[in-house]
């Protein structure tokens, strides 16, 4: 074939999350939305805050050439400063706008960061179960994706397993807390242990190992604190987006932060800018850079997710399902009722329940339920979950 084989393969294989979501949409059109219980995709069900709409309306008054023009590649200075000031207030840091590069959401932040870091033949560690696009972005950057299973009891990072997986080719590790798909939040102790492993093993292999902290769910938590990762490990790069915290996934706005405490800060900022250029991003959406400058401190509305989480966990536990109690994000990691998660998914689908089988996330035996859905979807799905359970009795 004369076209790019890797791109063809990624396109032909498709994302199973998106495939299931597309099936869900078609099925809703067929039998009515109220009869399909689609827990597949992480599209926020909470509307974007009113302040976002107000900021859009204010920005729309700007002269069109200013509003729609290119911005600097790293983003408008006022937007980057607003983000830096906000982080400084929250995490007692002293970041400046020169530490930030605005992006088209977390997908772009991570792709850019990986392209900034890796050379062909490098390895990047992910903690399984993991967000499936990590593999796509790692391989596209020319590196190999190395899976390390999380601790099977706690779903914290198994730092001994990470230490064992590090080779001279290891360039980086991606962590995501609050975690998609499990909902776990890595404790300060777990991150301190990871930092120790990365430092020690980095010294042994003779070059630093970077920690890419993917944080689109940072604000969506249920009574636990999410430690600030650069405080635990100095060679951290933070990737963020407003897709979930401000419910703006279609607007494509986020950032990469190379903290000024990172010893390789200057080279990394050049490499980040170079990767953004290389990948053709040009600049993040101009309107939403301006909106961001005004809304950066807007609190995330988590009440609906907290209510959904409570209804879903209570309902499923009463029926006898096992799951990991989520500490953050809006996903529930539920044990499949048979070892083959795909087979379990097919049986769930027959009752119009659409979870995502865990094979997509790099392990077997579980399914992920996105509870960023309407409350009614959760409540009304319970009879179907009951019938599914009865099939296994």
- For ligand PLP, the closer of residues 21 and 388 by Cβ is 21
Residue 335: strand, helix, or coil: strand
- For ligand PLP, the closer of residues 75 and 216 by Cβ is 216
DSSP 217-281: TTT-BSS-----HHHH-TTEEEEEESTTTSS-TTT--EEEE--TTSTTHHHHHHHHHHHHHHTT-
- For ligand PLP, the closer of residues 111 and 187 by Cβ is 111
Least separation in angstroms between CB 214 and ligand PLP: 5
Q: Are strands 356-357 and 366-370 parallel, antiparallel or unpaired?
A: antiparallel
Least separation in angstroms between CB 182 and ligand PLP: 11
Angle, CA of 338, 387 and 130, to the nearest 5°:
40
- For ligand PLP, the closer of residues 182 and 337 by Cβ is 182
Residue of 324, 346, 327 whose CA lies nearest to 335: 324
Q: Are strands 323-324 and 331-335 parallel, antiparallel or unpaired?
A: antiparallel
Least separation in angstroms between CB 106 and ligand PLP: 3
Least separation in angstroms between CB 301 and ligand PLP: 18
Least separation in angstroms between CB 251 and ligand PLP: 9
Contact (Cβ atoms closer than 8 angstroms) between residue 206 and residue 168? yes
- For ligand PLP, the closer of residues 166 and 175 by Cβ is 175
Least separation in angstroms between CB 54 and ligand PLP: 23
Least separation in angstroms between CB 105 and ligand PLP: 3
Distance CA(103)–CA(88), nearest Å, equals: 20
Angle, CA of 106, 361 and 36, to the nearest 5°:
90
Which residue, chain included where needed, has tokens 């033949």? 121
Note the residues at the interface with ligand PLP (CB under 6 A): 42, 105-107, 131, 176, 180, 214, 216, 241, 243, 249, 254
- For ligand PLP, the closer of residues 248 and 316 by Cβ is 248
Contact (Cβ atoms closer than 8 angstroms) between residue 238 and residue 217? no
- For ligand PLP, the closer of residues 106 and 237 by Cβ is 106
Q: How many CA atoms lie within 13 A of 132 on its CB side?
A: 18
């Amino acid at each position: 074939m004369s076209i790019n084989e890797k791109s063809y393969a990624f396109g032909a294989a498709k994302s199973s999350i998106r495939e299931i979501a597309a099936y869900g949409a078609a099925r809703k059109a067929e039998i009515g939305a109220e009869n399909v219980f689609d827990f597949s995709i992480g599209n926020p069900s909470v509307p974007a805050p009113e302040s976002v709409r107000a900021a859009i309306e204010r920005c729309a008054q700007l002269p069109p050439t200013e509003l729609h023009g290119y911005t600097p590649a790293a983003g408008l200075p006022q937007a980057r400063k607003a983000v830096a000031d906000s982080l400084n207030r929250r995490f007692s840091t002293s970041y400046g706008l020169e530490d930030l590069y605005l992006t088209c959401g977390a997908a772009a932040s991570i792709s850019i960061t990986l392209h900034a870091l890796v050379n062909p033949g490098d390895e990047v560690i992910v903690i399984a179960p993991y967000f499936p696009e990590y593999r796509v972005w790692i391989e596209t950057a020319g590196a190999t994706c190395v899976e390390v299973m999380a601790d099977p009891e706690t779903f914290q990072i198994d730092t001994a397993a990470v230490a064992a997986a590090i080779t001279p080719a290891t360039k980086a590790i991606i962590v995501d807390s609050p975690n998609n798909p499990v909902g776990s939040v890595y404790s300060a102790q777990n991150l301190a242990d990871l930092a120790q492993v990365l430092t020690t093993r980095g010294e042994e292999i003779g070059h630093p190992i970077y920690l890419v902290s993917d944080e689109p769910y940072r604000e969506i938590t249920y009574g636990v604190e999410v430690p600030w990762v650069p405080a635990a490990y100095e060679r951290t790069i933070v990737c963020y987006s407003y897709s979930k915290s401000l419910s703006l996934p279609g607007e494509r706005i986020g950032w990469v932060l190379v903290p000024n405490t990172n010893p390789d800060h200057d080279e990394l900022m050049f490499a980040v800018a170079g990767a953004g250029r290389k990948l053709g991003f040009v600049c993040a959406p101009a309107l939403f850079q301006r909106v961001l400058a005004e809304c950066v401190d807007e609190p995330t509305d988590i009440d609906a997710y907290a209510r959904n989480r409570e209804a879903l966990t209570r309902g499923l536990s009463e029926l006898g399902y096992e799951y990991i109690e989520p500490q953050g994000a809006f996903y529930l990691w539920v044990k499949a009722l048979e070892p083959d998660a795909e087979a379990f998914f097919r049986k769930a689908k027959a009752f119009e329940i659409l979870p995502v089988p865990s094979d997509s996330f790099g392990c077997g035996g579980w399914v992920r339920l996105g509870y960023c859905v309407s409350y009614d979807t959760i409540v009304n799905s319970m009879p179907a979950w009951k019938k599914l359970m009865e099939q296994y009795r």
